[in-house]
Amino acid sequence: MRVRFWGTRGSIPVALTSADIRHKIEQALALAIASGVDSPEKLQNFIEHDLGFSISHTYGGHSSCVELETGRAEYLVCDMGSGARAFGNRIMSRRDGGPPPVINVIMSHVHWDHIMGFPFFAPAYVPGARIRIHGCHDVLEQAFRLQQSAPCFPVDFSRLAADIEFTQLEAGASYDVAGFRVTPKLQRHTGGSYGYRFERDGKTVVYSTDSEHKLEDPAETRGFVEFFRNADLVIFDAMYSLLDAVSMKEDWGHSSNIVGVEMAQMANVKHLCLFHHEPAFDDDRIESVLNETIRLEKLTRTEQPLKITAAYDGMEIEL
């Protein structure tokens, strides 16, 4: 099973600025000078092995959109944030004259950053394409139609050429979607959000974004630990520091890296992927949060090691 991240940023898309790129170049050149890079061969080696991710890459700025490869001639994706535009373009480029695509969308909730990519999702404009949008909110269809209504967008939802269906799911029930067993769970977030447990061929992925875990309610914590139990991968909303999550941003509906590690350890998770990055954080800061989270896991490890990564746009995880 392969998971591909098309959008990983929380709340609003962000883009690198000229100043950000200049900063990366300055950092890279200073390190190259210090490392004695003086030939093309040394340069390649330096870029490959000595340059940190936050200098040589970017975590990216698209809002939530995560694809789970189905192994079939259809697609499965979580959320339609701004990353959906690039995802749609990939679908179109892979079509290569074949039949119109079939895309299954699983929606955590309908806040703007999770639906804003849909008006730019090219398959929605393809006659014969089938888009099945699944979610637990009764306002699911209303939200998609509303954002494509005048005066907010020039193309009304009713003019989309694809065959678009909305399917209501219920928390706690399990469904077969594109070969996956899919189980939604209600999460703490303004207006409610839903996490999803995906199981197929003995592998389990949990997509749990826009979820605040307060942990003072043992029953609620136990419920989420069971939801995460033995997952191969948990994609976790780690937008805030713990300090922010329990002080000025309490009840804003997001969690922290520390809570992510604690819950993943309790649930015997194999891989925790930090997701829904704070838009105010630059690449240095996200890398710093990642390194601190890896350190925390080592400090608090009890049984099996927990792998920790920070999601970036374009990242693929093979399970």
Partner 1 sequence: MKNMDIRSKTYGDVLVLSPTGRIDHANSEVFRRALNPLIERCSANGQRLVLDLAGVDYVSSAGLRCFMLAEKQAKSQGGAIVVAAMQPVVNEIFEISRFTLVFKTFATVRDALAKVSPAALKAFDAA
Residues lying near partner 1 in the complex (CB under 8 A) are found at 214-216, 218, 221, 241-244, 246-247, 256-259, 262, 292-293, 295-296, 299-300
- To partner 1, the closest distance from the beta carbon of 51 in angstroms equals 25
Nearer to partner 1, 32 or 266 (CB): 266
- To partner 1, the closest distance from the beta carbon of 297 in angstroms equals 11
Give helix then strand counts, H and E, for the chain: 10, 14
**Strand duo 65-68 + 75-78: pairing:** antiparallel
Nearer to partner 1, 82 or 256 (CB): 256
Nearer to partner 1, 16 or 246 (CB): 246
- To partner 1, the closest distance from the beta carbon of 300 in angstroms equals 7
Nearer to partner 1, 29 or 242 (CB): 242
> CA-based Rg of the chain, rounded to a whole angstrom?
20
E strand or H helix at 183: strand 180-187
- To partner 1, the closest distance from the beta carbon of 116 in angstroms equals 30
The amino acid at residue 6 is W
- 97 phi and psi angles, rounded to 5 deg: 80, 0
The amino acid at residue 113 is D
Strand order in the sheet with 180-187: 175-177, 180-187, 193-200, 203-208, 233-237, 271-275, 307-310
- To partner 1, the closest distance from the beta carbon of 305 in angstroms equals 17
Nearer to partner 1, 2 or 222 (CB): 222
- 34 phi and psi angles, rounded to 5 deg: -65, -30
- 257 phi and psi angles, rounded to 5 deg: -60, -35
